[in-house]
A and B are shown apart, each in its own frame.
Chain A
C-alpha cells in the first residue's frame, strides 16, 4: 500500500530564516506530487505540482520554491520566510495519466513564522 510522509509536523521559524519541508511517498512509482497551503483552516491553495523528477510547475508567484530531486521526494523551500508564509502545508500525490485524479494527502506541516 502507498503511504506519504511529511516532516517536520510543526515548525516555528523567525522572519527571514530559510525553510525546507520534505515529503516522501512510498509504495508507488512516478507519482504526480503537489504542495498545497491551507491558511487559517480554510480552503487549499495549490502552490506547486510535479509530474516527474526535476519537473516543477508553479501555480502562483510567491516567496517559495519546490524541487523534486528523486522520484518520490518533493521539497518545499524558501530562502527568507515572510510572516505571510505561515500556514498548514500539505503534500499530496496521485497516479495515472489523468493528472489530478484522486489525490492522497500527507499529514501536513504546520508552519508559524514569528
Chain B
C-alpha cells in the first residue's frame, strides 16, 4: 500500500532557507505535489514534479526528487513570515483516483 511520511515541525529564521522532506513508498507514483495550508484555509497547490524529473525550480521554490530513495524535498529560499503554514506532500499513482497525502509539516518562521 501507499504511505507518505513527513516530519511534523520545522522552525527557521526569516531570511534562511527551509527544507521540508517527504518520503513515499509507492514506486508507481507518477506525480508528486507540494501543497500549502494556511490556518483555517484549504490547501493551495504550490508546485509539482513528474516522476521522471530530478529537480524543478519555481522562483523561491526548489523541488528535488530522489526516485531511488523515494525521497522528495521542498526548499524555500529566503523564507518569509508569510511562508509559515503547514506543507503537505502528496503522490498520485497511475490509475488511482485520488492523491495520497502526508501528515503535513508545520513550518514556523521566526522574525
Give the B-binding residues of A (Cβ under 8 A).
Answer: 6, 32, 34, 41-44, 46, 49, 51, 57, 59, 90, 92, 98-108, 110
Q: Which residues of B contact A49 (CB under 8 A)?
A: 97-98
Given contacts A90-B43, A110-B40, contact A100 B92 (CB under 8 A): yes
Q: In the assembled complex, how far is the CB of residue B35 from the closest CB belonging to chain A, in whole angstroms?
A: 8
Instruction: Tell me if B's interface is mostly helix, strand, loop or mixed.
Output: strand
Report which B residues bind A (CB closer than 8 A): 30-31, 33, 35, 40-45, 48, 86, 88, 92-94, 96-99, 101-104
Given contacts A101-B31, A102-B48, contact A43 B99 (CB under 8 A): no
Residue of A nearest to B8 (CB): A42
Structural contact, B97 and A101, CB atoms closer than 8 A: no
User: In the complex the two chains form, what is the Cα distance from A46 to B96 in whole Å?
Assistant: 12
Q: Which residue of B lies closest to A45 (CB)?
A: B101
The reply to whether B88 and A100 contact each other, CB–CB distance below 8 Å, is no
Chain A to chain B contacts (Cβ below 8 Å), 15 pairs: A44-B88, A44-B101, A46-B99, A51-B97, A90-B43, A92-B43, A98-B30, A99-B96, A100-B92, A102-B33, A105-B42, A105-B44, A107-B41, A108-B41, A108-B42
CB distance from A11 to the nearest CB of B (A): 14
A32, A42, A107 — most chain B CB neighbours (10 Å): A42
Query: B residues within 8 A CB of A57?
Result: 97
**Contact: B104 with A43, CB < 8 Å?**
yes
Inter-chain contacts of B103 with A (CB < 8 A): 42-43
